[in-house]
Amino acid sequence: MADAVMKDEDLRLTDDDNVSNNMNGIKSEKLYDFLQTLSTCKTNALNNFKETTPKDLLPLLLEHLLVTIPNELFLKNSAQDQERLQEINSWITEKFLKLDQFPFTILRICQLCYDPFKYFKINELTKFVNAIEKCCVVTSALDINDDKDPEVKNNDKSKNNGHIYNGTKTNNATDDTSNIESGNNDEDVSLVKIPWIDEVEADPEFPQFLRDIDSIMSVNFGYDDGEEDEDEDMDGVQLSMENDNDIMMGNSSNVIVEEYYENDGDNEADLNNYNGLAHSNISITDKELDVEDEADEDYNENASDNASDEDDDDEEENGLESNYKAHQEVDDEPPVQVGQGQRLDESKTPRKRKPTELDIFDYNDNSTLNNNNELTTPKKHKQDDSTLVIESPIITTTVENKSVSVVNDKRDVSDTEIHLESKAITDKKSTLNDTSVAGSMVTGTSMLYSPCDENVVNVNTEKIRAITDINETSPLGNKTR
């Protein structure tokens, strides 16, 4: 191999009349040998610097740089270039040679010195000096022994960031121990990590607990891992997928996930049912709610809410429902209030999330669909619900007072089928419903349209347009001149 490389070099150099010998014009054989080895090294070239010392190498290199290169290799040598090379020389001597250190850019300096004509034409000494100057004017030294791996390892993460990665690690240990050894099992972790998870302190017993849960769950609920194992051959892909799931598990770190999976099926069914009836008869909603109330439904609702992305009605119903619930709690059932509050928050979460491009497209589709079927889009309801500050009974009362006439219409429906205690609340609810409809019709636009959307449309029509920052009025906006 080395011979072959040598031959190549020889061949190339004989073609080049301006190089006096076959050592790239390098006078010192020692320097030539070193640079030559360096240039043939594809990986870990820096290891070569472990075998030499700055006191050995730098003087040779500097002499080559200062004398041979400008005078013998390049055609034109101007006083200005020579002066700059002198400066470089004294800089390296002062900052590195005297301290017995290499500049951290030493590898590049060697590459440039070894074969300047790989990069520059024979008359371009100035360009060479420009380049070498950029590489040499540094202050920090090469740390050859720094072999810290920049890759984030599972171990690091579990050590640094707490339990989230324990989940990954332990679960993989049960599934496939070899993954850990190969160090490949955290692919794509970067895209999945959930920030707030970090805030929780890691419990010393946590890994064991997780392992238990994981083993139970992976058996009982057949996580996606299994499916992907069958479907996909590509290791990387599969691993990354697994990890996602692992992390999910790690995050949830308690029974919540279990609940979610358990109830998922039922829920979807419920919802379909529920949506069909939703607009024709409110009282059914209420009844269902009463039944479900007993069960631990916080997560059911939300899970289905998220899961059935394609149906906006879900969200609407959930919004109203939680709305309604909140009243109920305030009025009648204080004990459950915490749970309900949580639920309210949860049902808002999707709205808070910044819509990504894909989401926006989804929402567009949905809202147009809904617009065709009904006068209002569900989003509008939701938005208004939130602005009404559902939790506060005071505000609700005012709303009720304002729109008494509307209430009466709805009450007919409600009265017949609703049990007594929730009657008053239903009234409130329908009031809310109506006012929010009205409100949304006034507003006219769905809040889920990002303002950039319009920009994008425009961009396609106009050739050049400040889409990049046209809506970036914010921080630098209030300039006055």
Partner 1 sequence: MQIDRTISLLKQGKHITEDAVYALCLKSQELLMTEANVTHVDTPVTICGDIHGQLHDLLTLFDKSGGVEKTRYVFLGDFVDRGFYSLESFLLLICYKLKYPDRITLIRGNHETRQITKVYGFYDEIMRKYGNSNVWRYCCEVFDYLSLGAIINNNIFCVHGGLSPDVNTIEEIRAIDRKQEVPHEGAMCDLLWSDPDDVEKWSLSPRGAGFVFGQNEVNQFLHTNKVELIARAHQLVMEGYKEMFDGGLVTVWSAPNYCYRCGNVAAVLRIEDDLQRNYTIFDAVQPQDGVGNAIIPTKKSQMDYFL
Q: How far is the CB of 121 from partner 1 (least distance, A)?
A: 8
- Choosing from 28, 89, 101, 161, the residue that interacts with partner 1 (CB under 8 A) is 161
- Choosing from 192, 369, 399, 447, the residue that interacts with partner 1 (CB under 8 A) is 192
Judged by CB under 8 A, does residue 105 bind partner 1? yes
Select from 143, 25, 23, 127 the least CA-distant residue to 76. Answer: 127
Q: With H, G, I as helix, E, B as strand and everything else as coil, classify residue 103.
A: strand
- Phi/psi for 319 (5° steps) reads -60, -50
Interface positions, 288-327, toward partner 1 (CB under 8 A): 302-303, 306
Judged by CB under 8 A, does residue 202 bind partner 1? no
- Choosing from 190, 280, 373, 405, the residue that interacts with partner 1 (CB under 8 A) is 190
Nearer to partner 1, 101 or 435 (CB): 101
Q: How far is the CB of 237 from partner 1 (least distance, A)?
A: 5
Which range in 5-13, 22-30, 55-63, 140-148 contacts partner 1 by CB under 8 A? Answer: 140-148
- Choosing from 27, 193, 287, 411, the residue that interacts with partner 1 (CB under 8 A) is 193
Total residues at interface with partner 1 (CB under 8 A)? 81
Judged by CB under 8 A, does residue 205 bind partner 1? no
- Choosing from 9, 63, 72, 198, the residue that interacts with partner 1 (CB under 8 A) is 198
The set of residues, in sequence order, having a beta carbon less than 8 Å from that of 150 and lying 6+ positions away, is none
> Is residue 130 a contact partner of residue 163, using CB atoms and an 8 Å limit?
no
Nearer to partner 1, 266 or 374 (CB): 266
- Residue 13: other Cβ atoms inside 10 A: 19
> Is residue 222 a contact partner of residue 167, using CB atoms and an 8 Å limit?
no
Q: How far is the CB of 314 from partner 1 (least distance, A)?
A: 15
Nearer to partner 1, 27 or 193 (CB): 193
- Choosing from 15, 17, 146, 201, the residue that interacts with partner 1 (CB under 8 A) is 146
- Choosing from 251, 323, 414, 426, the residue that interacts with partner 1 (CB under 8 A) is 251
- Phi/psi for 113 (5° steps) reads -75, -30
DSSP state of 446: -
CA distance 380 to 409: 22
CA distance 228 to 175: 13
Judged by CB under 8 A, does residue 474 bind partner 1? yes
Q: How far is the CB of 35 from partner 1 (least distance, A)?
A: 17
Q: How far is the CB of 232 from partner 1 (least distance, A)?
A: 9
Crossing angle of helices 337-352 and 312-331, rounded to 10°:
150
Which range in 21-29, 105-113, 427-435, 436-444 contacts partner 1 by CB under 8 A? Answer: 105-113
Judged by CB under 8 A, does residue 230 bind partner 1? no
- Phi/psi for 176 (5° steps) reads -155, 100
> Is residue 421 a contact partner of residue 353, using CB atoms and an 8 Å limit?
no
Q: How far is the CB of 347 from partner 1 (least distance, A)?
A: 11
Which range in 148-156, 211-219, 321-329, 429-437 contacts partner 1 by CB under 8 A? Answer: 148-156
Note the helical H segments in 308-450.
312-331, 337-352, 357-373, 378-387, 393-402, 404-417, 423-443
Which element (helix H / strand E) includes 199? none
Which range in 47-55, 94-102, 195-203, 425-433 contacts partner 1 by CB under 8 A? Answer: 195-203
> Is residue 379 a contact partner of residue 367, using CB atoms and an 8 Å limit?
yes
Nearer to partner 1, 127 or 211 (CB): 127
Interface positions, 373-392, toward partner 1 (CB under 8 A): none
Judged by CB under 8 A, does residue 479 bind partner 1? yes
Judged by CB under 8 A, does residue 139 bind partner 1? yes
Placement of tokens 């009974």 in the chain: 393
Select from 266, 268, 263 the least CA-distant residue to 298. Answer: 263
- Phi/psi for 103 (5° steps) reads -65, 155
Exposure string of 95-123, with b = 16+ CB inside 10 Å and e = fewer, is: bbbeeebbbbbbbebbbbbbbbbeebeee
Q: How far is the CB of 397 from partner 1 (least distance, A)?
A: 32
Judged by CB under 8 A, does residue 410 bind partner 1? no
- Per-residue x/- track, 328-357, partner 1 (CB under 8 A): ---------------------xx--xx-xx
Nearer to partner 1, 258 or 331 (CB): 258
Which element (helix H / strand E) includes 150? none
- Residue 175: other Cβ atoms inside 10 A: 19
Interface positions, 23-52, toward partner 1 (CB under 8 A): 43-44
